Chains A and B, each alone.
Chain A
Amino acid sequence: MDRARVKAQLLVVGGGPAGLTGAIAAAENGVDVLVVDEGLEPGGQLVKQTHKFFGHQGFYASKRGFEIAKILKDKVKNLGIKVMSQTTLVGFYDDCAVAYDRENNRTIEIDYDYVLLATGASERFLIFKNNMLPGVYGAGAVQTLMNQYGVLPGEDFLIVGAGNIGLIVAYQIMQAGGNVRAIVEISDKVGGYEVHANKVKRMGIPILLRHTIVEAIGKGRVKGAVIARVDENYRIIEETKREIVVDTICLAVGLQPSVELANQLKVELVYIPELGGYIPRRDENMRTSASNVFVAGDLAAIEEATSAMAEGYIAGYAIAQDITGKDLSKEMERYREELNDLRRGPFGEKIRKGLRKMGIDVPSGGYREENQKDFGPVGKLRAVIECYQNIPCNPCEAVCPTNAIDTGGNINGIPHINYEKCVGCAMCVMKCPGLAIFMVQEFDEYSVVGIPYEFEPLPEKGQKVILMDRGGKEVGEGVVHRVMVNKKDKTHVVFVAMERGLERTVRHFRLPTREEEKIVCRCEEVTREDVEKAIDMGFTDFEELRRYLRIGMGPCGGRTCRLLAAGILARKLGKSIEEISPMTLRPPSIPLPFSAILRGDEK
């Protein structure tokens, strides 16, 4: 039998952002590259990320994860890099590397000179009672189902863990039409970015700090969960146990680097909790203790896609330099600078500490830390920025056409706005990946707030909405004033008119639910709002209004709704009910079966 055996100068294991960028950097410099990836398509974690990424333009900031994956895949394709999908690298044996091609159910033997390991990480599991019950799923699994296959595995979710992954998955579940009942977080603070936390808080999702899951309830399938508070030593406080009704429990309790292959390649592993546990020791250029084995991405340290890509490039260049002898130190230097900037801020502290343990120093500080206090000139249409953490992100600064926003010289700086320069275009609102920018304008009688909105359905002008504050508390009703539809990247801006004074409080809204709608006509489910909207459209004749909305066209014959609708019309027009058209009530007055008519001549 023919053995499938292939050769490559560089074998890249893992086609996530780290592996793909590594492959690109090497192939651009003439190296012959093979990428092996076990996913249905390459892209790694990126293919299921529907949110916009932080960072700066060079690293696709403000693009959604799956869009970045597409860009990388296109590059890989254009460079003619060979990619094997649905193929797992199962082992580095002493004679060759072996990959298992699932689709064709065959093994492939691979000869290589260099290896870039970019196998990413796998999700951590958590111990609690009944934790194997179907309905307890990893956060990544829920994401894969939702965002790759379009399947939402439940209706009511409990999220365990308030790191970035837990926060983002909660937001994505809401986008897909599910409900997140709570996010429990065992520590006393949210681990993820404040802007991500704010997104879910203002939708009214409680983030319960110092809480954990105790038990999954249900036989055969999750029916609920027991949660409880913990004390300073993370011990459950018995009296605080309580049940919540959920049908899916989503674990977002961290990742662990997938080091199996590294181990087989006999590279030195070190245990550095700050970087994710056991990881391969490596130098500044991502070279491990084996001189032809490089690592990048989450395998090298649980971090982010942006850093994974920078590391991928560095590794790719370093390998190309080895193989071709070209001097690529400038390119490597550029991406090292990039990494330094990504890790400079408070969120990089853990990584800095971990890398120091491996002897790699990363600078910190050197960015603006003070918040902007003032809310801008009352009455002017302007942007207000609520981004108060030093995170490596600056699309707001980059997109503003009048240069009204600046982060103070370093990407980690807190953005400030120059209200004199702001012309109210709302471009920054649509670009900000943290959805942390709002538009505000005060008028004499009312105020308008422009809110970034990424949900279905998009409300229409004139529609009533329920206003929510930063903590998700409902603070009144508003009316949609204008909708800026953002076809391109789908962060729309909905301007909502509200009582003057609320513009400082309101940061989100929701559409009234079916239960909250005020029904006028039960048969055809016509709401009071429908009637008012039709009148505003120009239907002022009662009979026309009825026919337009189908009021009274159902089986009740108009008994329940006719007067209600006439009343609304009368009130709106300032007329009396009698002045509005007389009524015609047609037979039969109750629904009359054909069968009864047919039986009418039986004696």
Chain B
Amino acid sequence: MERRIKNHPILDFEEKGYVTIYFEGIPIKAKENETIASALIANGFDIFGFTEKGRPRGFFCAIGKCSSCLVVVDGVPNVRACMTKVRDGMKVERQVGRGKPTWTEPE
């Protein structure tokens, strides 16, 4: 399911470059410069994660205010999908409850 707006009476959406990100292992096409939330919704994924009580969670405000859109990006949890731009090869996972801790070992 693609939900990108094709023709708009007022706006022109540039057909710029695309990158591939992986959502739950599924490769999806994202526009360069868009946010993770926008790419997920555009590709028909509305459930960004589950709360601790198991309730499905989507995004809500799109401007970084409500923290409803937390996802795991390249292993790092609690990333706000609506405020984070996509990057080629990025791996995005649904966040279930609280995220697992991650760190880089000192060399």
* Contact between A and B in the complex (any CB pair below 8 Å): yes
Interface check A151, CB cutoff 8 A:
yes
CB distance from B73 to the nearest CB of A (A): 12
A sample of 25 cross-chain residue pairs with beta-carbon separation below 8 angstroms, ordered by A number, consists of A50-B11, A66-B11, A88-B64, A102-B84, A125-B60, A125-B66, A132-B68, A134-B46, A134-B48, A135-B46, A137-B62, A138-B62, A140-B62, A145-B37, A147-B11, A148-B38, A149-B42, A150-B5, A150-B11, A151-B38, A152-B3, A152-B5, A153-B3, A457-B7, A490-B9
Interface size in chain B (residues, C-beta < 8 A):
38
For the complex, what is the distance from the CA of A136 to the CA of B60, rounded to whole Å? 7
Mark out the residues of chain B between 4 and 55 whose CB falls within 8 Å of any chain A CB in the assembled complex.
4-11, 13, 31, 34-35, 37-38, 41-42, 46-48, 51, 55
Between A64, A148, A151, A153, the greatest number of chain B beta carbons within 10 A of the residue's beta carbon is seen for: A151
Q: Are B8 and A149 in contact (CB under 8 A)?
A: no
CB distance from B30 to the nearest CB of A (A): 10
Q: Are A153 and B83 in contact (CB under 8 A)?
A: no
Closest to B48 in A: A134
Interface check A98, CB cutoff 8 A:
no
Closest to B40 in A: A151
CB distance from B34 to the nearest CB of A (A): 5
Q: Which 10 A-B pairs have the closest CB atoms?
A: A134-B58, A141-B62, A150-B13, A149-B38, A456-B7, A144-B62, A134-B46, A151-B42, A122-B65, A50-B10
Q: Are A140 and B61 in contact (CB under 8 A)?
A: yes
Between B7, B9, B82, B84, the greatest number of chain A beta carbons within 10 A of the residue's beta carbon is seen for: B9
Which of B38, B57, B64, B84 makes the CB contact (< 8 A) with A145?
B38
Q: Are B64 and A138 in contact (CB under 8 A)?
A: no
For the complex, what is the distance from the CA of A137 to the CA of B6, rounded to whole Å? 22
Interface check A191, CB cutoff 8 A:
no
Q: Which residues of A contact B3 (CB under 8 A)?
A: 151-154
Q: Are A135 and B5 in contact (CB under 8 A)?
A: no
Interface size in chain A (residues, C-beta < 8 A):
45
Q: Are B63 and A151 in contact (CB under 8 A)?
A: no
Q: B residues bordering A, Cβ < 8 Å?
A: 3-11, 13, 31, 34-35, 37-38, 41-42, 46-48, 51, 55-66, 68, 82-85
17 more A-B residue pairs beyond the given contacts A88-B64, A140-B61, with a C-beta to C-beta distance below 8 A: A38-B64, A40-B85, A134-B48, A138-B62, A141-B62, A141-B63, A145-B41, A149-B34, A150-B5, A151-B42, A175-B9, A175-B10, A177-B6, A454-B10, A456-B7, A456-B8, A490-B10
Between B34, B37, B62, the greatest number of chain A beta carbons within 10 A of the residue's beta carbon is seen for: B62
CB distance from A49 to the nearest CB of B (A): 10
For the complex, what is the distance from the CA of A151 to the CA of B47, rounded to whole Å? 16
Between A133, A149, A152, the greatest number of chain B beta carbons within 10 A of the residue's beta carbon is seen for: A149
Between B8, B35, B82, the greatest number of chain A beta carbons within 10 A of the residue's beta carbon is seen for: B8
CB distance from A39 to the nearest CB of B (A): 7
Q: Are B60 and A133 in contact (CB under 8 A)?
A: no
Q: Are A134 and B5 in contact (CB under 8 A)?
A: no
Q: Are A138 and B9 in contact (CB under 8 A)?
A: no
Q: Are A149 and B46 in contact (CB under 8 A)?
A: no
Q: Which residues of B contact A66 (CB under 8 A)?
A: 11
Which of A134, A145, A177 makes the CB contact (< 8 A) with B56?
A134
